[in-house]
Structure 1
Amino acid sequence: MKMPENQQTSGENNPKPPLELIESLLESINQTQTLKLKWSLIKTKLSNLKTNLLDLATFPPTSISNELLRSLTVTLSEALTLSLTCHTSNPSSGKLKTQSDIDSIASKLEFHIRDLHVIIESGVLQENNVSTASKREGVRIHARDMITRLQIGSTESRAHALDSVLQLLEKDDKNVVIAVGQGIVPVLVRLLDSGSSAEVREKTVMVIARVSGVESCRNALVNEACVTLQSLTLLKENAVVISSRGGVSLLLKICESGTPTAQACAAGVLRNISGFSDTRECFMEDHVILVLLTLASSGILLAQEHSLACLSNLIRDDDDLILLVARKGGIDCLKTFWDDSGVVAQSLEVAVEFLCNLASEERLIELIISNGFLFRLVRVLNCGVLSVRIHAANTIYKMGYNEKTRKELGDFGFIPLLIRMLDGKAIEEAEAASKALSAILIYTENTKIYKKDQRGIASVVRLLDPLVTGLDKKYPVSILLSLTRSKKCRKQMVNSGALLHLEKLTAMEIEVTGLDKKYPVSILLSLTRSKKCRKQMVNSGALLHLEKLVAMETEDGLTNPVNG
């Protein structure tokens, strides 16, 4: 390829062609006296660049290649000037600044090498002089040129190319079909990468929306884009961009009429998007819940899982939406998924979390119980997946909202399973179990079941240790309060070290999250019934401290929550 004679660079009237500049730069690098290792890396890049330029020279000039060569000439000229400053051991700009400048040149050369490779491999250079006998062929060549430009150059040039692409596609649906045939979809998906600027991502979503608007192109878009979108929408900024540009509506259409695999993929993207509060308003269309529930009941297992997870995200902390989902058959969908033999334990996390969110609405709890979910919860409390057990325990806590349900929870055998969870290595598991038990033990008869477990007292006392952090102490304190009427339990508390932990908690100057100090004080008061315990408290000085705390509680008008 003959190099253009009229190339211009800023500050130079007669710039050298790139190949000549490379030879001059290589000669100059050989004479550098400082940062030689950095310059040796530049030499390697120049060798690759030279090979690409020789390949480029076999094609006739085009506007896209001329633009790239002009940019490359500027970079090579800057590199040559910089290399001359390194012919001495002390560059005029200082070594740190010079090192930074060399790194910048190396990065630019890497981009030029990549861009040259793209335009050579794209086939766009062969088509520059092809006779465009038809309008369709002209659109195809223009689309190929634009697709190539989307893959090279600066952020600004790519944003400009996206404008041109959108302009081409908006003229005719046939142009969309042609562009998809030329491979625009995978290029657009790559542009959604988090490394792109916000402007590029927004414009890319607009182009994707245009492509998805043509039914014959929708499957190609799904097959290429959805898997990538699932990973991209794990990031909030990507999820917000896609949802704000009509992405939710397009994905819902795929959930309605796509292939089973496409439906699962689209539901997975919706699941990610719905996980961010900033995107929830994009799901407020009337048919959203119906589409997701339909897919949750009739799609393949993966589609069901993603749909339930999306619904779970949407109903969280929204009582009206919880009731709507229940009325539209959400509980039946949940049962179908939960009981499917193909569902593995890890996938049950979605089901149990969905149930936990439904149980936030007390008006649904009787319905949940009548549909057999206590049996299902007992089974998953035994599973080997930590997150499933935690969600199950949190669900039990919400379900223990009145005396009737607390009695049922005790009768179903939850207490021994939850006591075992108190000893879990993860503090989140221990807290979830202590929350659930604190609710169940409000029903006095359930304390008899608790007392039968030899580990019960020691396990909950361990959680009172101030060194056990990240756990709300009010739940283990509440459990112990429920058991202080029993002389045997009070003795076990003392033997397990409860006295020491309670003294520390009441004496701590800083506040313990969620803990009202009157409750550990109440436990200490109940323990003073034991002569041995009173003696220990006198010897440690805790009795005097306790008297002061009781006086303070009395002045504040707070009452002892434990009778007697």
Structure 2
Amino acid sequence: MGEESDQSSAEKTRLHQAIVLISSLISLSNSIKVFPTKWQSIGNKLDELFSNLTAIENCQSTDNFSLSITLESILATLKNCDELGKQCSELSYSGKLLMQSDLDIVIAKIGAHIKSISDIYAMGLLTQSNAIVVSRPSVSASRDDIKFYIVDLLSRFKIGSTGMKKQALVAFNEVIQEDDRYLKIALELDTFVNFLVNFLDLKDSEIQEESAKAVSLIAGFESYKSVLIGAGVIAPLIRVLESGSDRSKTFAARCLMKVTENSDNVWSVSAHGGVTVLLKICGNTGEHDGELVGLACGVLKNLVGVEEIRRFVVEEGAILEFVNLLRSKNEVIKICSVDLLQAMACGDESIRYMIIQGGGIRAIVRALDPRSSFSTKTREVAFRGIVNICCSSEKSLNLLVNYGFMDHILYFLRYGEVPVQELALKAAFWLSGTSEEGKKLMGDAGFMPVLVKFLDSNSLEIREVAAETLSSMIIVPRNRKRFMQNDQNVGLLLQMLDPMDINTGNKKLLLSILMSLTSSNSARKKIANSGYLKNIEKLAEAEVSDAKKIVKKLSSNRFRSILGGFWQS
């Protein structure tokens, strides 16, 4: 018993000597001016060895002999390194080539020692007692302090127990969310990301979840995505999607969505069976929460930009599954499925037809029902989805009318809050451009009086969209006649043409509407008799082309025969 105690005490002494010597050597390596690349590499290796040794300070050995031999070898290498360091500092070495060779040997030996410590821990020859992750540096910490902390976490990835690995992962995820310097330094270490990627395949659910969270956070940095791809992250992420916990799957899907924003990575997801796995998630909404299904839709949206993958998705019968997602009461699923179907339908008439035939348009229009409680975001996506999926199809227009789309737009134009009003106005503008039949239906539904009110909006954009929509509708004779039935409409248009109002950015559109109206005798009469006719006359005097055309039309008519030669010029 006494002999074992002596051996244990000897190990602790050697371990302490090694730690002290490494600390001194790290400082020395930073001060040496010759062979800077070699000494930087030695410094990095010493950092890693230092963390490995400090991590086992509080561990107990079940094989004193193996640890003793390793520590003796480490001390010998460190003493050799110290001697080489002094020679480089004093420039007392005999030759450059010989010194470079000696430094390469030291680098290799330190690397071997790091592996030896990891192997001893992996074989269960060390057992953890009360080892903990070192304290996180302060906000004002130096780069060296941060590096020491990150290297310590890496050592725990390598030689730590399951609990230590998890603890280190949690700590890593916390610091990189608060200070990206930690992430930058971690990615400078050769094996750090490889450990994170390898942890994705561990059966321990907590480690898998934290590692999935880590790679998801890293993927949020555009410049670091390639590091993850280089470490082979895609295949294990897909395996997590297949069999991981729901939390792990969510992080994995989020990471995949970020890395597939680059089309170069799309084929890798497909090659590892990712498309099938994602489709399975979308088809089993009862088993997964809305966030995961939404993220799966998001990844697929990135993937279907590739024609071959889009064809595969269609052949798998997934369009109807996506349409079924539109009926979900979960807003995340509804929004993401609309986005996905828009991406599927882009430039593909056959897919648009499948979406419409499958009831997709009806499901999207339901999100616009004023009686529903959907958010502004959902309604925004629904408006955009209808525009992109329906395009200008006459059949689509009839369906939209039958499903109450026009009624919903009118409701939000009249009573909606400002953000939704703007969306409805843009939808009305799109609708007015679909076909002449669409313009007629809008006129019959009562859009024009509502649009006229928006011409006086404080927002320039709203005024312009309203004017463009109205201008498009007025082209139809039936709409012109209906517009003129309200005596106030013409006067309002003329009033808005005040030449002194520099903020009126849609004069051209208003003049276009008036030009269309002048094809009607009753309209010309109302324009000529309006108290605001002077506004057009002043614009004509200012050489505004459309204003001059309107005045010419009026001057050639019996209602304005008093106008003279200037207008004939």
2:533 to 495, 505, 524: 495
Which stretch has the larger CA shift, 375-384 or 273-282? 273-282
CA contact (8 A) 1:483 1:490 kept: no
Trace 1:267-286 onto structure 2 (pairs within 5 A).
267=294, 270-271=297-298, 274=301, 283-284=310-311, 285-286=313-314
Larger radius of gyration: 2
Pairwise CA distance, 1:334: 1.8
1:458 to 467, 492, 495: 492
Q: Amino acid of the residue matched to residue 269 of structure 2?
A: G
Distance 1:199 1:332, change over 3 A: same
* Greater fraction helix: 2
1:295 to 298, 302, 325: 325
1:398 aligns with 2:433: yes
Trace 1:411-490 onto structure 2 (pairs within 5 A).
411-451=444-484, 452=486, 454=488, 457-459=491-493, 462=496, 475-484=509-518, 485=520, 486=523, 487-490=525-528
Q: Amino acid of the residue matched to residue 338 of structure 1?
A: L
**Unmatched segments (≥5 aa) in structure 2:** 1-14, 32-50, 60-66, 90-137, 174-181
Pairwise CA distance, 1:187: 1.1
Distance 1:525 1:270, change over 3 A: farther
Trace 1:381-392 onto structure 2 (pairs within 5 A).
381-382=413-414, 383-384=416-417, 385-392=420-427
Distance 2:351 2:413 in 1: 28
SS at structure 1 position matched to 2:327 = helix
Distance 1:158 1:318 in 2: 46
Q: Amino acid of the residue matched to residue 184 of structure 1?
A: S
CA contact (8 A) 1:273 1:279 kept: no
Distance 1:294 1:193, change over 3 A: same
Distance 1:21 1:197 in 2: 29
**Unmatched segments (≥5 aa) in structure 1:** 9-14, 25-51, 82-105, 131-136, 170-174, 507-516, 548-564
Pairwise CA distance, 1:333: 1.5
Trace 1:6-85 onto structure 2 (pairs within 5 A).
16-18=24-26, 58=57
Taking structure 2 as the reference length, the TM-score comes to: 0.61
Trace 1:349-364 onto structure 2 (pairs within 5 A).
349-357=380-388, 358-364=390-396
Pairwise CA distance, 1:414: 0.8
Distance 1:245 1:493 in 2: 70
Report Cα offsets for 1:74-112 as digits up to 9, x if no partner: xxx9xxx9xxxxxxxxxxxxxxxxxxxxxxxx9997443
Aligned length: 439
Distance 1:108 1:242 in 2: 38
Q: Amino acid of the residue matched to residue 554 of structure 2?
A: L
Report Cα offsets for 1:44-71 as digits up to 9, x if no partner: xxxxxxxx999879568999xx9xxx9x
Report Cα offsets for 1:334-381 as digits up to 9, x if no partner: 234333622134431222222223143234212222332222221122
Structure 1 residue aligned with 2:216: 189
Distance 1:345 1:149 in 2: 37
CA contact (8 A) 2:52 2:155 kept: no
CA contact (8 A) 1:115 1:153 kept: no
Pairwise CA distance, 1:416: 0.9
Report Cα offsets for 1:380-436 as digits up to 9, x if no partner: 22211243223322233134x12x443322221111111112222333322322222
Which stretch has the larger CA shift, 143-152 or 389-398? 143-152
Which stretch has the larger CA shift, 311-320 or 190-199? 311-320
Structure 1 residue aligned with 2:374: 343
Pairwise CA distance, 1:533: 7.5
Report Cα offsets for 1:229-275 as digits up to 9, x if no partner: 88x68xxx846466454288354433222557634444257459849
2:354 to 291, 315, 324: 324
1:246 aligns with 2:269: yes
CA contact (8 A) 2:452 2:466 kept: yes
